[in-house]
Amino acid sequence: MLYFDHGATSYPKPKSVTAGALRAMESFGANPGRSGHQLALKASREIFDARETVAKFFNIKDPKQVIFTSNCTEALNLAIKGVLTKGDHVITTSMEHNSVLRPIKALENEGVENTIIQCRPDGSLPLEKVDQSIRENTKLIVLTHSSNLTGTLMPVEEVGKIARERGILFLVDAAQTAGLYPIDVEKMYIDLLAAPGHKALLGPQGTGFLYIKEDLYLKTLKEGGTGSKSQDLIQPDILPDRYESGTPNTPGIAGLKEGIRFILEKGRDNLLHHEESLVKYFLEEMKKLDFIHVYGPKDCKKQSPVIALNFRDMDSSEIAYILDSMFDMAVRPGLHCAPLAHKTIGTLEQGAVRFSFGYSTTLEDVKKAVEAIKSIGIEL
């Protein structure tokens, strides 16, 4: 099967990733940080290494500020609910995923106000609206690095600068970019960075992390055993323990470490250029087809390797079904857990067919996708 659904999760994983997860299960499958015996220590060391690897990759000074989570959604919930309290105001955009919008909407019931900035039809953010939306009680700005629907890349550094200048916390959702695009939490003024481990970071499912800026103290989402200060009935303040209760996903985290090592070996920039070239080729070919409507910036420099399109007014699920059953190609149709983004680009009814490329996608694969699209077009 030709897999064009890297925006949902990367597949196949590099061999070293599955090998890393397997090694953790087979060679040191003890509980990290719970005992002091050799196997438990091996497991904790592996998690420490992974934490350090993540920290270095995103220019995070202290690995303890990296909190492992079960996915990006958990990281976003921890950040949003950890920061915001009754009376606070939060700013976000219409291109966000439900993992940002739904927690924010849930907080409305607790007296947290929000402003959702309406983006342009190509998904881009009118920067001036950020400044205009700031109120006296604005505590947090939440911005996706790239739309999961149109791929539109957002001006993270610019928004970060505004937030920093106005003394507002800045949370970035790097679900579509972490692992592929340069992210430097210092340079980009990022106070909180949420990312999945299993997309462009190439780790196994069941992984993710939240970076929390030093001295930023969040409310906890969960409390429990931390293996530290066990005598206390209240959650300890020590990091990362404060935000990591219970047994971690050691095999997943071990695999994530290998994912990042794979990226470093290949060169993140090389992977990015490769994927940009695929997007460029694909977009050029799509431009030639009058029955295809592409959404978003239509520019490989302005979007992550995610392309949303439709075949005239055909139902997106039907197209995806044809691609799957007749051409053995995996794409994602329908709504993409981002209802306001669909409203922004005008596809709330029709949905959209999303092609998303990854490190393992070849030009040959993309050419086959183009041919398949042309074949379907002839039948329309």
- Which 33-92 positions form the footprint of its own copies (CB under 8 A)? 34-40, 70-74, 76-77
Instruction: From 379, 376, 377, 354, select the one nearest 3 (Cα to Cα).
Output: 354
Here's the x/- map for its own copies, 286-325, by CB under 8 A: it reads as -------------------------------x--xx-xx-
241-to-67, 84, 230, 236, 238 alpha-carbon distances in Å: 8, 21, 11, 7, 6
**Distance, CA of 111 to CA of 176 (rounded, Å):** 30
Closest distance to its own copies from the beta carbon of 166 (Å)? 26
Closest distance to its own copies from the beta carbon of 377 (Å)? 20
Instruction: From 369, 365, 340, select the one nearest 100 (Cα to Cα).
Output: 340
**Distance, CA of 238 to CA of 269 (rounded, Å):** 35
Q: What is the DSSP string of 318-363?
A: HHHHHHHHHH-EE-B-S--S-HHHHHHHT-TTT--EEEE--TT--H
Closest distance to its own copies from the beta carbon of 346 (Å)? 14
Closest distance to its own copies from the beta carbon of 354 (Å)? 9
**Angle ∠(204,244,183) on CA atoms, nearest 5:** 55
Q: Note whether 234 binds its own copies by CB under 8 A.
A: yes
176-to-39, 158, 197 alpha-carbon distances in Å: 35, 19, 11
Q: Where are the beta strands (DSSP E) in 154-232?
A: 169-173, 192-196, 208-212
* Interface with its own copies: number of residues (CB under 8 A): 87
Q: Note whether 226 binds its own copies by CB under 8 A.
A: yes
Q: Which residues pair with 92 in a beta bridge?
A: 116
- For residues 9 and 303, which CB has a smaller minimum distance to its own copies in the complex? 9
Q: Note whether 167 binds its own copies by CB under 8 A.
A: no
Count of C-beta atoms within a 10 Å radius of residue 30: 17
Here's the x/- map for its own copies, 203-222, by CB under 8 A: it reads as -xxx-x-----------xxx
Residues 91-120 that bind its own copies (CB under 8 A): 97-99, 101-103, 105-106
Residues 251-280 that bind its own copies (CB under 8 A): 251-252
Residues 5-24 that bind its own copies (CB under 8 A): 5, 8-9, 11-13, 17-18, 21-22
Q: Which of 64, 89, 261, 332 binds its own copies (CB under 8 A)?
A: 332
Closest distance to its own copies from the beta carbon of 284 (Å)? 25
Q: Given the rule CB under 8 A, which of 132-140, 150-158, 160-168, 329-337 is the region that contacts its own copies?
A: 329-337
